[in-house]
Each structure stands twice: as structure tokens, then as C-alpha cells.
């Protein structure tokens, strides 16, 4: 019942992609939050998880996923595995997902949950997400679940010629959710909405002393 109410809220706030809504309906968000927060798992807000990180607000997960415009055939790179919740949603909507996390403990926890849910097309990796994962580039889509001071050029370079990148950008809060799309004449950037994410830590983003910031 709580999950159905959440889906109704997502529709009310402009989520129209039926495949995204179906994935949000299928994935048990309570599996990705600490036990003490499970009563709030289907509230439309961010929640704290381990290592000072957060699981994003369901609306923002749905919006970012919708902005990827997935058809099911894509190879996707996710920067910032976190709890694994966004990865579980994406696994139902793309062909293959590489999800990159800089904190090894989070990556392993997410891997175990994703495996238990049968997400067999997800590959969990540990590394500096601001640099992407060039070993398997190019990607049809890239999604970044942490805020960068600017769009890392390394990520743009790892997109296919018609690829899309969804990323929060800004040097202050709130940040701006942006969609960068490669075209034959260059890369176009569209602002979607204001947002607030934990900082993207890495050599092409924020230094480690930004790590004490948390999402609102």
C-alpha cells in the first residue's frame, strides 16, 4: 500500500515513463535502507545510509531515470552506487549496468543486495567515479548520483556519439540537475531542476574534504 501511494505521488509530480514507474513499483526500497529507517522507506525523501552517504529521494531517482530515456538496449554507467537502489531500478530498464562506487564497503553491500534481488546484469566496481570507467566505454548513458562542481570532461568522452549524461552540477546548494547530450555538432546541456546531492569526490570533481556535506 505504501509503495502504491508513492507511485501515485510520482505520477502527480510529473513522472510519466511507465517503464520507470513499473521499476519503482517492483524494487523494494526498504531493502536498501538501514533497519531503523525501514518505516520511512516509502516516504518521498532522502534517507541516511552507511559511510555518511544517503539514498536519494524516490522522486529524484525516478526523474533522473526518466531523463536517461532508456529503451532497454543500452549499456549504462552509474557513478555513485551508494545503497544500490538506483542500480536496482536501472537494472530493469537497460541491457547492462556498470555501477562505480569509491567506498568499497558500500559497493560490497550493494552488490550483495542486488544479487539477492536477481539483478544479474549489474557489475559493481570500486574506483574514482569522477574519472568514469574507461575500460568498458563508450556508454549509451551515464548517470551521476552525486553533485559535481562542473561536468567532468572524462565522462563526456566516455559517451557514445548520441549518448546522454544526467548529473547534478553546482558549487553551492542547491545544485542544478543537468542533461548533457552528444550531437554531431557537439554537446548540448539542458537544465532540468534544482536538486541537492552529496558531493562527487574525486580527482575530476571535489576534494575529499567536501565529504562531510550531506544531501538535504
Residues tagged active-site? 56
Strands (E), the chain: 47-48, 54-55, 75-79, 96-101, 122-126, 139-144, 159-169, 175-183, 186-195
188 burial (CB, 10 Å; 0-12 / 13-18 / 19+) is exposed
- Closest listed residue to residue 171, CA positions, set 151, 193, 189: 151
Give yes or no for a contact between 100 and 129, defined as CB atoms under 8 angstroms apart. Answer: yes
Amino acid at each position: 500500500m505504501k509503495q502504491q501511494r508513492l507511485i501515485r505521488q510520482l505520477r502527480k509530480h510529473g513522472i510519466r515513463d511507465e517503464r520507470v514507474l513499473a521499476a519503482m513499483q517492483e524494487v523494494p526500497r526498504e531493502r536498501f535502507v538501514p533497519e531503523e529507517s525501514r518505516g520511512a522507506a516509502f516516504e518521498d525523501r532522502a534517507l541516511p545510509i552507511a559511510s555518511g552517504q544517503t539514498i536519494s529521494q524516490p522522486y529524484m531517482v525516478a526523474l533522473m531515470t526518466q531523463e536517461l530515456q532508456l529503451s532497454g538496449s543500452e549499456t549504462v554507467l552509474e557513478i555513485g552506487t551508494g545503497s544500490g537502489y538506483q542500480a536496482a531500478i536501472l537494472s530493469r530498464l537497460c541491457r547492462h549496468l556498470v555501477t562505480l562506487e569509491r567506498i568499497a564497503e558500500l559497493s560490497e553491500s550493494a552488490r550483495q543486495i542486488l544479487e539477492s534481488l536477481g539483478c544479474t546484469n549489474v557489475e559493481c566496481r570500486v574506483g574514482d567515479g569522477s574519472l568514469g570507467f574507461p575500460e568498458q566505454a563508450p556508454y549509451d548513458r551515464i548517470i551521476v548520483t552525486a553533485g559535481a562542481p562542473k561536468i567532468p570532461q572524462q565522462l563526456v568522452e566516455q559517451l557514445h556519439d548520441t549518448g546522454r549524461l544526467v548529473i547534478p552540477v553546482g558549487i553551492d546548494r542547491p545544485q542544478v540537475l543537468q542533461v548533457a547530450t552528444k550531437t554531431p555538432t557537439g554537446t548540448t546541456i539542458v537544465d532540468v531542476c534544482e536538486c541537492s546531492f552529496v558531493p562527487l569526490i574525486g580527482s575530476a570533481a571535489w576534494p575529499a574534504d567536501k565529504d562531510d556535506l550531506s544531501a538535504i
